[in-house]
Amino acid sequence: MRFKTDYKMDRKQFLQLSSMGLASLPLSSPFSATNKPIVISTWDSGMEVNAAAWKILSNKGKSVDAVEAGATHIEDTINCCVGLGGYPDRDGTVTLDACIMDERGNCGAVAGMEQIKHPIAVARKVMEKTPHVLLVGDGAQQFAIENGFVKESKTLSAEAQDAYQKWLETSEYKPQINIELKQGNGPSAPSFFTDGSPNHDTMGLVAMDCNGDLSGAVTTSGMAFKMHGRVGDSPIIGAGLFVDNEVGAATSSGVGEEVIRICGTHLVVELMRQGYTPEMACKKAIERIVHRDPAKAKNIQVGFLAMNKKGEYGAYAIQKGFVFSVKSNTENQIHAAKHLI
């Protein structure tokens, strides 16, 4: 059954919902005005990402340009988890994943790409210049170079080199256990691995422009010290990012394998289509992960962040510590996501 996108129900739809036991779902208010333009991003580093996106949104620019600008900004910073300054895989090579999706369901992605500074820009070129959605590894790099991108050096950033040397001391391969578990006490608390080492922050952002059109982007160096060739959720449409311009959009951060297993962001958007608020849709998706393997869930972090067509937003995580940043005409701040465990 499909509901009207403004979530108003007529009597027939209400009776259909009741028969499915869904009539008490938290529906968005049919009377609130749309909150646009707006951009939401994962983590506290989302504040600067939102500022970059806002330059475009506040000038009546398109959401797809805004999310690309936000992702490009963070790729230019030295960050453990995004861009060429990010942590390498276990062989010492930085490999980058990114994707972008616009209001018409167009999408493009790159995965496992080396030595190219702006994977998000390459993802957009894949979207606009090829009949494909995803290019990987050498093929992605070759396509980037053919399109004017410069092949950068393989040298690790000083931060990444230090972290890699430290990791090599044990070379413990535990990509799904603890590596993503962060602590924190709300927006002001720093987030870090439980062993005290630095953050691992994939950047995912979703924006709605003045026209009410939604787009999203994700960029990451992926899980630190992963196997060479490992790809997480971030560049996978429907896992790390999904946009449906009639309903809403969602992005994710955390252990990508768990997100892929439930087609996480597609699930969140479909739950919003059924009438769930963004926060409740994220919560339901998190519950799905925890329900599948409660013992594993205790030791990992996944967070979802979503926005609906009204510019209402929400997030949910397995563990405490997932924060997200919001910029609109009325706010510019970091929020702590609720968590299940």
Give the nearer residue to ligand SD4 in terms of CB position, either 57 or 334: 334
Strand partners, 134: 109
Q: Which of 42, 72, 95, 202 is catalytic?
A: 202
Q: Is 81 in the site for ligand SD4 (CB under 6 A)?
A: yes
Give the nearer residue to ligand SD4 in terms of CB position, either 137 or 212: 137
Strand partners, 218: 99, 204
Min dist CB 17 to ligand SD4, Å, is 34
> Tokens at residue 52, please?
């970059």
12: Cβ contacts below 8 Å, ≥ 6 apart: none
Question: Among this protein's residues, is 170 annotated catalytic?
Answer: no
Q: Which of 89, 233, 270, 312 binds ligand SD4 (CB under 6 A)?
A: 233
CA distances from 330 to 38, 116, 251 (A): 9, 36, 22
CA 68, 224, 267, 272 dihedral sign is: negative
Q: Which of 62, 200, 283, 309 binds ligand SD4 (CB under 6 A)?
A: 200
Min dist CB 233 to ligand SD4, Å, is 5
Q: C-alpha angle with apex 68: 125 to 266, nearest 5 degrees?
A: 85
| Helix-then-strand count for the chain, H and E | 10, 13
Q: Report how many residues bind ligand SD4 under the rule CB under 6 A.
A: 14
- Span near ligand SD4 by CB under 6 A; candidates 31-39, 111-119, 185-193, 197-205: 197-205
Q: Which of 65, 68, 103, 201 binds ligand SD4 (CB under 6 A)?
A: 201
Q: Which of 35, 45, 141, 202 binds ligand SD4 (CB under 6 A)?
A: 202
Q: How far is the C-alpha of 320 from the C-alpha of 339, rounded, in Å?
A: 5
Backbone angles phi, psi at 52, to 5 degrees: -65, -40
Q: Which of 46, 112, 216, 254 binds ligand SD4 (CB under 6 A)?
A: 254
Residues that bind ligand SD4 (CB under 6 A): 81, 200-202, 220, 222-223, 232-234, 253-256
The residues annotated as belonging to the active site are: 202
